[in-house]
Amino acid sequence: MTLAGQGARIVLQLASVTVLARLLSPEDYGLLAVGLVVVGVGEVFRDLGLSTAAIRAPELTTAQRDGLFWLNVAAGVLLSALALVAAEPVAAAFGQPELVDVVRCLSVVFLLNGLAAQYRAGLLRRLRFGAVAGVDLAAQVVSFAVAVGAAVAGAGYWALVAQQIVQGTVVLVLVAASGRWVPGRPRRGVGLGPLVRFGSGLTGTHLVHYLGNNLDNLVLGLTAGPAALGVYNRGFQLLMTPLNQLRSPATTVAVPVLSRLQDDLGRAGDYLRRSQLALGFTLVAAMGLAAGAAGPLVEVVLGDRWAQVAPVLALLAVAGSAQTLSFVGYWVYLSRGLAGALFRYTLLTMALKAVCIAVGSRHGVVGVAAGYATAAVLEWPLSLWWLSRTTVIPVRALLGGALRIAGCAVTAGAVCALAVQLASGWPAVGRLAAGLAAGLAVYGLAALVPPIRRDLAGVAAWGRQMLARRG
């Protein structure tokens, strides 16, 4: 259910990128990217980690749920007010007067998401993944239609602002309707303490993680201006946003399941191993092909004037692959309540990312992308080592599976790039088709190798098992 919904969302996301890239300029995207970085920092504090706390709690009373709802709403109201006040200093820091109104309008997102947080958490807690997927898909359809209409009418970057606000509004309306729950008044002494403490620890982790993931945008926004940031943002939206939209529902499903398996380390380890293989032979495989065919892919999707995005896209594909290989570790931290260990690890990786991006920023947009990719590659083995010091995980199985996944992806990407180069005189669509065909042929041959064949068979068996359980 979740993956089907996300598949439809990815199609819409690609349609949005393709259509709006032809209607708006890099400067428009750069302004929105800066605004969303500011809003995103506030969103970390707005949630307070309470959504995850509600999802993983063994028992959650009605009074506790009411209390969590009002805490999220209060945080949303406070952050909306702070954003209104901070809009002018933010615009001055980035040297973009237009950001004043952009940040002020986006401040309403805090309130919308604060109201929706516990409704969404309730649906996930009850494993209503189909309802959540439907809500997200409907919100994206409506907001996309509004953005295209506004862009055609000449609204510029306001089309992108409207897209964010409409999406948050639709999500709130639909999760509230699906949840069929009216929050009661908040009360003391209902046992919120453990939930708030867990959420507080997780909030620190999320803040550091968010800042680390957006250092590239902040550096480009401060040093290179909105046009350069717009180019980088298009590469990120074309590749990393669909990737995150697939990894996010995997987390949505995995955390509740692993929370129930936290006392059965054998079954939990097998779940992690097969999950990594499933992500690797789908998402990492796609990243390898995207890196190899970055040039024609950008030309087909975004158009000729966005050619600068191609090297950025290729480097971000490397980063996305490395992040995906280590992604299952994040599930372990969440499902086993290891908020403190996750916070310390996130601080370490943020420092590593800051150094790599700072060094790369000397070479402009491509340098920042290279720094981001380098940090992600270094973080992958570090993540396994760090987590193994904290809790029990099948390190050898995860490492072996990741190496096989990476070997296939690198080989397929290289062959794909070679095929694109040999077809250099063809139209962009033809070069893209030639590259993808060559890369997929590599995976076809890899399936003949016994260890890879066993991996694929295990993933297929696991998929059938999940479908059978769903039925």
End-to-end CA distance of the chain: 11
pTM: 0.69
Same domain? 312 vs 397: yes
Quote the pLDDT of residue 386. Answer: 87
Same domain? 302 vs 222: no
Quote the pLDDT of residue 312. Answer: 92
Residue 46 inside a domain? The answer is: yes
Same domain? 216 vs 175: yes
Question: Closest Cα partner for 43 from 96, 93, 82?
Answer: 82
In this structure, how many other beta carbons lie within 10 angstroms of the beta carbon of residue 255?
20
Same domain? 274 vs 219: no
Quote the pLDDT of residue 470. Answer: 47
Same domain? 338 vs 457: yes
Interval 138-170: pLDDT, tens: 998 999 999 999 999 988 889 989 998 999 999
Same domain? 55 vs 154: yes
Same domain? 206 vs 336: no
Between CA 16 and CA 269 the distance in angstroms is 38
- HSE toward the beta carbon, residue 285, CA cutoff 13 A: 22
Residue 254 inside a domain? The answer is: no
Residue 19 inside a domain? The answer is: yes
Same domain? 18 vs 106: yes
Between CA 46 and CA 54 the distance in angstroms is 15
Residue 257 inside a domain? The answer is: no
CA distances from 452 to 213, 380, 443, 462 (A): 32, 21, 10, 15
Q: Worst-scoring range by mean pLDDT, 88-92, 187-191, 367-371?
A: 187-191
Same domain? 295 vs 368: yes
Averaging pLDDT over each range in 118-127, 262-271, 427-436, which range is the top one? 427-436
Quote the pLDDT of residue 364. Answer: 85
**Rounded mean pLDDT, 205-220:** 72
Interval 352-386: pLDDT, tens: 988 998 898 888 888 999 999 999 999 888 888 88
Which helix (H) or strand (E) element contains residue 227? helix 226-260
Same domain? 425 vs 339: yes
**Rounded mean pLDDT, 449-471:** 71
Q: Worst-scoring range by mean pLDDT, 114-118, 193-197, 453-457?
A: 193-197
Same domain? 172 vs 306: no
Quote the pLDDT of residue 436. Answer: 94
Q: How many domains does the chain have?
A: 2
Same domain? 224 vs 269: no
Q: Final residue of a domain: which of 192, 217, 244?
A: 244
Residue 154 inside a domain? The answer is: yes
Quote the pLDDT of residue 67. Answer: 82
User: Three-state SS string across 360-392, please?
Assistant: HHHHHHHHHHHHHHHHHHHHHHHHHHHHHCCCC
Cβ-Cβ contacts under 8 Å for 8 (sequence gap 6 or more): 137
What residues make up the domain containing 143?
1-244
Between CA 88 and CA 103 the distance in angstroms is 9
Which has more confidence, 349 or 257? 349
